[in-house]
Every structure is written in structure tokens, then in C-alpha cells.
Amino acid sequence: MRRYYNMSRRKLIREVLRLSYENAKLLSIFEFAKDEFEKRNKKIAFLSLELERARAKIKVLEKKISSLEEENKRLKGVNKLLAKKIFSRKNERREEKKEEQEEKPKKRGAIKGHKGYGRKIPNLPVKKVILDI
């Protein structure tokens, strides 16, 4: 206040006008800053909501990926088992035998050279025969 004591009336009026102009300028700057701040807050809120949605979607997709990986693993095991059954060596031999069986009908009776299970006649007379060559 002392500063204004020694000033003339005209100078005081000029100073008041300058300060009121500066005050109006600052008010407009603050108003603009307030609007910008509100816009940014709205944008932050919107982006936060979008981030939450994206995280929820990521969780759902991660669960789906893990279930698909488990199913893939199971199906690979089944595929491996079936391939082993179809393409194993024993299976190939069976196919060869099946082809042979289809060509020739199976003979009935015992195998040639087989000793047999029939009745055995005891105490048969033994003859010695000597042949000259």
C-alpha cells in the first residue's frame, strides 16, 4: 500500500486498469486451462474403461488359448496312438497274412510231420530188414 500512497491519481487509474486487464487475461487463461483439464480427465476416464475391457478380454482369450492347447495336446496323443496302431510292424505283417489267407483256403487237419495225439498201439513186433545196395 505504501507504494500507491505517493502516486498521483492518474497513475493510480492507469495501474488499476493495467491490473484489471492482467486479471482478465489470467482469468481467461485459467478458464482455458480448466476446460483442457476437464477434457483430459474425461479422456483418462474413457481410456481407463477401455483398458479394463481390454484386460477382461485378454483374460478370456488366455483361458481359451489354454483350453485349446490342452485339447491340441490330447488330440496329438490320440493321433500318435492311432498312427502307431495303423503303421506298426505287426499290423503290416497281419495285412500280409490276410492277403495270403484270402488267396488260399485254409487246409483242414493236422500239420504235416506232426506226431499226433491218437491211439498208440503197444508191443508191436519189430522186424529187422537189411537191404543191400
Interval 19-62: pLDDT, tens? 999 999 999 999 999 999 999 999 999 999 999 999 999 999 99
**Cell numbers representing residue 126 in the block:** 519189430
Question: Is the alpha carbon torsion for 88, 91, 95, 100 positive or negative?
Answer: positive
Q: Are 94 and 100 in contact (CB under 8 A)?
A: no
Nearby residues of 15 by Cβ (< 8 Å), 6 or more positions away: 4, 7
Interval 101-117: pLDDT, tens? 566 666 777 777 777 77
**Longest Cα separation, the chain:** 172
Euclidean distance between CA atoms 102 and 104, whole angstroms: 6
Instruction: Report the predicted TM-score, pTM, of the whole model to 2 decimal places.
Output: 0.44
**Domain ranges (residues) in the chain:** 2-102
